[in-house]
Amino acid sequence: MVKIVSVINLKGGVAKTTTTVQLAECLTSEFGKKVLVIDLDPQTNATIALIGEDKWEEIDSQGQTLFHLFNDKLKNTSTFDVKKALQGGVSNLRLKSLSLLASSIKFIDIQDRISDISKETEHVISPMEVLKTSISSEFSSFDYVLVDCPPNLGFITKNGIEISDYYFIPSIPDNLSTYGIPQIVKNIHDFSEKRSLKIQCLGLLVTKYSSTSNAHRRGIETLPARFGNIFRELKITPATIFETHIPQANATAEAMDYESFPATFKEKYGRTKSGDRYLYEYVIDLAKEFMKRVAA
């Protein structure tokens, strides 16, 4: 049965999108899973990393990005076709079992008007249920759906939460990056209570970890208790920190360049080491832990 997981943090630059892409590629290439990435972020970074700018421009001009889906509801048009919009065999690894529903920078033009969808559709569609009512029929073809959410808790993000079984939070282990985490957990909890959703938190993933940073080492020591307190205060099922920590590495960012053409996943993420391990080993550990947590 398909498992749908939103990836979210209110802070930019914490490797949210990079984590989504790496995890999707690893689950597909190393574990034979069928994965769909839904890019809801107007920055379109996951989209560009998985199909490149030329292909993105092509499907954007054809009206087959998620912007067009939401815009159809606002304008009572029918440009978007989910069958055409689904991009299969994506990634520069040419992964047949990895698919994408692309984002568009045009999302920025309508994100403040998403609340009008209810009125424009004569209350047939809630602004939180555009994805649920329009594309959920496609999910059964996949083992996992990963939703790359914008760095906010607006209507577009709530569409991702609405369809998700789980969410997890990638974060650099410093005070600035973790400051908004209680707000994320509380808002998703309140939203799910109001909407009678069963979404659960998978945990917090430490990203861009530098073992030479005193701030990061302190964060690693204090995060488990701080993160656990959020759930205790809300009196809800607690989540924990992922055992896998993704290290800071320039090669990880460079691997997001679609124009490079690695032959394998291990080649793509194995050009350098962090400590005594290749970067791809950390992602494989993350994928194993992710699958274990989702199955629990």
DSSP per-residue codes, the chain: --EEEEE--SSTTSSHHHHHHHHHHHHHHTT---EEEEE--TT-HHHHHHHHHHHHHHHHHTT-SHHHHHHHHHHT-----HHHH-B-S-TTTT-TTEEEE---TTHHHHGGGGGGHHHHTTTSS-TT-HHHHHTGGGGGG-SEEEEE--SS-SHHHHHHHHH-SEEEEEE-SSHHHHTTHHHHHHHHHHHHHHHT---EEEEEEEEEE-TT-HHHHHHHHHHHHHHHHHHHHHTS----EEEEEEEP-HHHHHTT-TT---SSHHHHT-SSEETTEEHHHHHHHHHHHHHHHHH-
Give the lowest-confidence range in 152-166, 191-205, 271-285. Answer: 271-285
Res. 271 pLDDT band, cuts 50 70 90: confident
**pLDDT of 260 strictly over 90:** no
Residue range 222-231: average pLDDT?
A: 96
Which residues neighbour 275 within 8 Å (Cβ) at sequence distance 6 or greater? 211, 247
Side-chain half-sphere CA neighbours of 212 within 13 A? 4
| Distance from C-alpha of 284 to C-alpha of 290, rounded to nearest angstrom | 10
Which residues neighbour 140 within 8 Å (Cβ) at sequence distance 6 or greater? 2
Residue range 49-67: average pLDDT?
A: 97
How many structural domains does the chain have?
A: 1
* Mean pLDDT of all residues belonging to the chain: 95
Residue 228, both tokens: 């656990």
pLDDT at 296: 78
- Is the CB of residue 166 less than 8 Å from the CB of residue 6? yes
Give the residue numbers spanning the domain of 225: 3-295
Convert the pLDDT of each residue in 64-111 to its tens digit. 999 999 999 999 999 999 999 999 999 999 999 999 999 999 999 998
pLDDT at 274: 86
Q: What percent of the chain has pLDDT over 90?
A: 91
pTM of the model: 0.97
**pLDDT of 291 strictly over 80:** yes
- Residue 137, domain CATH: 3.40.50.300
Which residues neighbour 28 within 8 Å (Cβ) at sequence distance 6 or greater? 34, 35, 91, 95, 97, 98
pLDDT at 261: 85
Res. 290 pLDDT band, cuts 50 70 90: very high
pLDDT at 273: 83
pLDDT at 181: 96
